[in-house]
Amino acid sequence: MTDGLSRRGLLAGAGGLALAGCATVPAAAGPFRADWDSLIAGYRTPDWFRDAKLGIWSHWGPQCVPEAGDWYGRQMYQQGNPVYDHHVAAYGHPSEFGFMEFIGRWRADAWSPEALLDLYEAAGAKYIVSMANHHDNLDMFASAHHDWNTTRVGPGIDIVGTWERAVRARGLRFGVSNHGAHAWHWWQTAYGYDPEGPRAGVRYDAARLRRQDGVGTWWDGLDPQALYTGATMAPPDGIDSIAAMNAFHDANSGQWIETIPADNPGFAANWALRQRDLVDRYRPDFVYFDNYGLPLEHHGLEAAAHVYNASLNWRGELPVVTGKRLTVDQRRGVTESVERGFLTEIRDEPWQTCTCIGDWHYNRARFRDRSYVPAKAVIQRLADVVSKNGTLLLSIPQRGDGSIDAEEQAILRDMAAWMAVNGEAIHGTRPWRVWGEGPTEIREGMHGEGAVGPFTAADVRFTTKGDALYAIAMDWPEDGRPLRIASLGRRAMDGRAVQAVELLGAGGAAFEQADDALTVRLPETRPVAFAPVLTVRGLI
């Protein structure tokens, strides 16, 4: 390998050789053990989560500094990628200006947690989630086991701790998200080089920087290898085309790997210590793992068992822990999160979908071209999720300075206007016997949200609370036409009669229940701009 790159040299000091892969961090004392059988047998979703329905996610980190969208840290090292092109033009070649320099430039001088919480609460959020780290491996909290954290570099503050104090002061539930289990393979592009052009073969910054190189700099005393995790899948010398380099990365570090890295087992042990520290410091009600199943084999099981037992000890209730692509059995022990996706039916176990109004990391282009997901689509999505026993975790991307832009604020205000009238049809509700009806096709699974919609007035979703059945129409009927709901006709209801219908925000509405459908004539004055909600009585 060029530039003195060697596997042993780059694992030393990166947490890779200091800890044994079999090291464990045992769970706190309690009824849960670190195995699936124990989690499945003993878990029950807490009522607060079933009632909350909407959370807002501060998915904020140093990748927001360039304001150029998702996975900037990995893609800036991939020649031929538009992110690489942007980086070279704006900042210089990644052998000279690597990702860690964004950490040095990151400031939080426009971050106002209280002002953001005012917007989030009004928009209907009942829990707030702070990202604790991303695949870029920087801890956004006062980490005891990782020197690369925001109390030492970047903003110089405990971001997670600041959120936690502000959120709890308002009586809201608090969560954290941990994406760090993937850092070890995600960062391997930073150990590569340009396969073509004037700097072909020159290794990027992760391949050459060591602790001693930081003397007199902003990162004096820190080891870049502890941030970049060490070279376990670095491309070999001699790759001479962009296509071949991309193929190498795709076949190796581009896979979504959930196992302990064989060549760097200490990474997993260090992850476990950091996760334990995160949970014990901030005692979250909610822990999001960005993993299929649970992260890093036994380490993830131990982490889940620990937070379950610890939460029982702290507050006498179970928390929520999420994983993705769970088996049917695993869904009973951990809450499934369906990233940017839908379900087609009501699920027995409470579940979550996580999505974003833009890119996960702030992208200024979304503001310039007004391509955010509007409030109307967010509320429609929320109604669909809640009707199927789910909860929506929504990211509102923050700029590098911690603020949100004017378009994002407008979306939150539009959500708040809808919630002020219709929030009772969302919060504290439970699914009805059917989720709804309508012509718009729903495709089940992760990352499929872009293929769904647009919804129409014929798409209706149901929720219940007490003796009220709520019918949420995804849009207003056109040209003053009545709203027709086949699921509430006498035949579908086995002859049961509707006693009253009210349009939330406007009062009683004229209706007729025929054998084939309930027909409701809505008033001309619209209490909300989209997604009108009916309260139907007599059917529960």
Phi/psi for 371 (5° steps) reads -110, 15
H or E segment to which residue 380 belongs:
helix 375-387
- Say if residues 532 and 526 touch (Cβ distance below 8 Å): yes
Q: Following CA atoms 522, 523, 527, 529 in sequence, which dihedral angle do they give, to the nearest 10 degrees? A: 60
- CA-to-CA distance for 309 and 419, rounded, in angstroms? 35
- CA-to-CA distance for 252 and 234, rounded, in angstroms? 9
- CA-to-CA distance for 436 and 434, rounded, in angstroms? 6
* pLDDT at res. 10: 43
- CA-to-CA distance for 70 and 361, rounded, in angstroms? 5
pLDDT(417) > 80: yes
pLDDT(21) > 90: no
Mean pLDDT of 340-355: 97
- Say if residues 111 and 403 touch (Cβ distance below 8 Å): yes
Q: What is the pTM of this model?
A: 0.95
Q: What is the DSSP letter of 142?
A: -
64 closest CA partner among 394, 361, 408 = 361
Read off the amino acid at residue 145.
H
The string of pLDDT tens digits covering residues 334-345 is 999 999 999 999
CATH hierarchy code of domain 2-425? 3.20.20.80
23: pLDDT confidence band, cut at 50, 70 and 90? low
CATH hierarchy code of domain 456-537? 2.60.40.1180
pLDDT(238) > 60: yes
Cβ-Cβ contacts under 8 Å for 131 (sequence gap 6 or more): 57, 58, 59, 60, 61, 140, 176, 177, 179
The string of pLDDT tens digits covering residues 204-216 is 999 999 999 999 9
Q: Return the minimum-mean-pLDDT range out of 229-233, 394-398, 476-480.
A: 476-480
Mean pLDDT of 383-397: 98
H or E segment to which residue 177 belongs:
strand 173-178
The string of pLDDT tens digits covering residues 97-132 is 999 999 999 999 999 999 999 999 999 999 999 999
Determine if the peptide bond prior to 454 is cis (ω within 30°): yes
The two tokens of residue 322 are 């999420």
Beta strands in 222-378 (DSSP E): 286-292, 320-324, 335-339, 351-356
Cβ-Cβ contacts under 8 Å for 324 (sequence gap 6 or more): 290, 291, 292, 293, 336, 337, 338, 339, 446
Mean pLDDT of 167-182: 98
Q: How many percent of the chain have pLDDT more than 90?
A: 93
24: pLDDT confidence band, cut at 50, 70 and 90? confident
The two tokens of residue 406 are 């004017």
- CA-to-CA distance for 331 and 96, rounded, in angstroms? 46
Q: Write the burial class of residue 157 (CB in 10 Å: 0-12 exposed, 13-18 middle, 19+ buried).
A: middle
Residue 99, Cα to own-chain centre: how many angstroms? 22
Mean pLDDT of 154-158: 98
* pLDDT at res. 28: 87
The 10 Å Cβ neighbour count of residue 480 is: 10
Mean pLDDT of 406-421: 98
- The rounded mean pLDDT for the chain is 95
Domain boundaries, the chain: 2-425, 456-537
- CA-to-CA distance for 71 and 77, rounded, in angstroms? 11
The string of pLDDT tens digits covering residues 281-337 is 999 999 999 999 999 999 999 999 999 999 999 999 999 999 999 999 999 999 999
Per CATH, 2-425 and 456-537 having the same topology is answered no
